Structure 1
Amino acid sequence: MGFSNHFRSGCKIIFEQEPCVIESSEFVKPGKGQAFFRVKMRKLLTKQLIEKTFKSTAYLEIANIQECTLSYLYNNGRFWYFMKNNTFEELSIEKRIIGTYRKWLLPQDICTVTFWNNKPISILPKNFVNLKVIDVQPVAKGNTVNTSGSTKLAKLITGAIVKVPLFIQIGYIIKIDTRSGQYVSRLK
């Protein structure tokens, strides 16, 4: 159990039978009445943001959360398979847990997997990935001048579709920010 005066940013607790991570905590001592903590926390399963106040004497259960770095191996459409690099143990994770991050995964990529009570609940790929362009949207003739903000759609080797500048062609390798899904730069 953890008392509310130990709630700090990054602390993982159980709230409403779900693991949550505390994003911010503020101690408030009003002129009248009892002191309390104003806490913003995010549910790890649903990513829902919750704002809650706790009495200074309140306590919650500390969540059994571990983060592990794993290498992505392959998928069969239903499960994504990862390997622990130090023990070579193979682990399967359901498609629903992988979510939209599957479009940024290539074999041998390193990911951070979050476990709650030894069960995977989320993955986080690297912040930046380098992916090959396999198809681009044709550009209308006369629209080849690179004006500010001119983009076209490109399909990447993983199946992801992103907006890229007009000069990007098939075969180019580009850097993508996985947090926003946006083009960052072209690699030479």
Structure 2
Amino acid sequence: MANILATQLRAGMIINYEGELCRVISVEHQTPGNLPARVVTKMKRLKDGINRENRFGSSDKIERASLEQHMLEYLYEDGDNLVFMNNETYEQTELSKEILGDDIVFLQPNMELEIEFNDGTPLSATLPASVVLEIVETEPVMKNANATGSYKPAKMENGVTVNVPPYMESGQKIRVNTVDRTYMERVK
């Protein structure tokens, strides 16, 4: 099992804390005045869904859970589950929609995700770092608009609103960062 520093914790990671697998929900780095820096985390224990908050010193070592990782292709939605397929074995795996949470809006047909398993049970899914989406609604192009101007909101085909440069218009495709939901570049 790999150990990481508390400062390396990120939301979505699965760690082994006090003998229990926990998903990190949020991480906050605090430097309170003349006291030592600390990392405050909110975690959910996977076996029963109980939430807990913990404080770690910035140099504390945390045990990252050793999980099997597989790239699986998204096939379709089935009620409260998503169905994925391993392209090497053609084995299908169902994953609860809850695992993706709000990021489910970025899921596209045939998209490959990294799925982490523990004893054959899928625990987490990681989307690609970016996706290409079409702008379906935005304000009209502004005259003399350039990339250095202010940004304007644009509604994407999946319903997410992203701030885009003022020269962008409906029907154009852009690359969107799936982590922070920001505009990256225009796609031709």
Specify the TM-score bucket, using the shorter chain as the normaliser: 0.5 to 0.7
For residues 104 and 47 of structure 1, what CA distance do their matches in structure 2 show?
28
- Aligned 8 A contact 2:139 2:154 in 1: no
Q: Tell me which residue corresponds to 1:51.
A: 56
Flag structure 2 segments of 5+ consecutive residues without an equivalent: 9-13, 25-37
- Aligned 8 A contact 1:132 1:174 in 2: yes
Q: Tell me which residue corresponds to 2:179.
A: 179
Q: Compared with structure 1, are the counterparts of its residues 106 and 136 closer, same or farther at alpha carbon in structure 2 (3 Å cutoff)? A: same
Q: Tell me which residue corresponds to 2:137.
A: 136
- Aligned 8 A contact 2:4 2:63 in 1: no
- Aligned 8 A contact 2:71 2:86 in 1: yes
> How many residue pairs are counted as aligned between the two chains?
162
1:118 Cα deviation after fit: 2.2
Q: CA RMSD in A?
A: 3.8
- Aligned 8 A contact 2:140 2:169 in 1: no
Whichever of the two has the greater Rg, that structure is 1
**3-state DSSP of counterpart to 1:126:** coil
Q: Compared with structure 1, are the counterparts of its residues 156 and 20 closer, same or farther at alpha carbon in structure 2 (3 Å cutoff)? A: closer
Q: Tell me which residue corresponds to 1:152.
A: 152
Residue identity opposite 2:100 in structure 1? I
Q: Compared with structure 1, are the counterparts of its residues 168 and 13 closer, same or farther at alpha carbon in structure 2 (3 Å cutoff)? A: closer
Flag structure 1 segments of 5+ consecutive residues without an equivalent: 22-38
**3-state DSSP of counterpart to 2:124:** strand
Aligned partner (choices 4, 7, 25) of residue 3 of structure 2 = 7
**3-state DSSP of counterpart to 2:103:** helix
- Counting only pairs closer than 5 Å after superposition, residues 87-126 of structure 1 correspond to structure 2 as 87-126=89-128
For residues 138 and 168 of structure 1, what CA distance do their matches in structure 2 show?
9
- Aligned 8 A contact 1:132 1:171 in 2: yes
Identity of aligned residues (%): 26
Q: Tell me which residue corresponds to 2:27.
A: none
1:150 Cα deviation after fit: 2.1
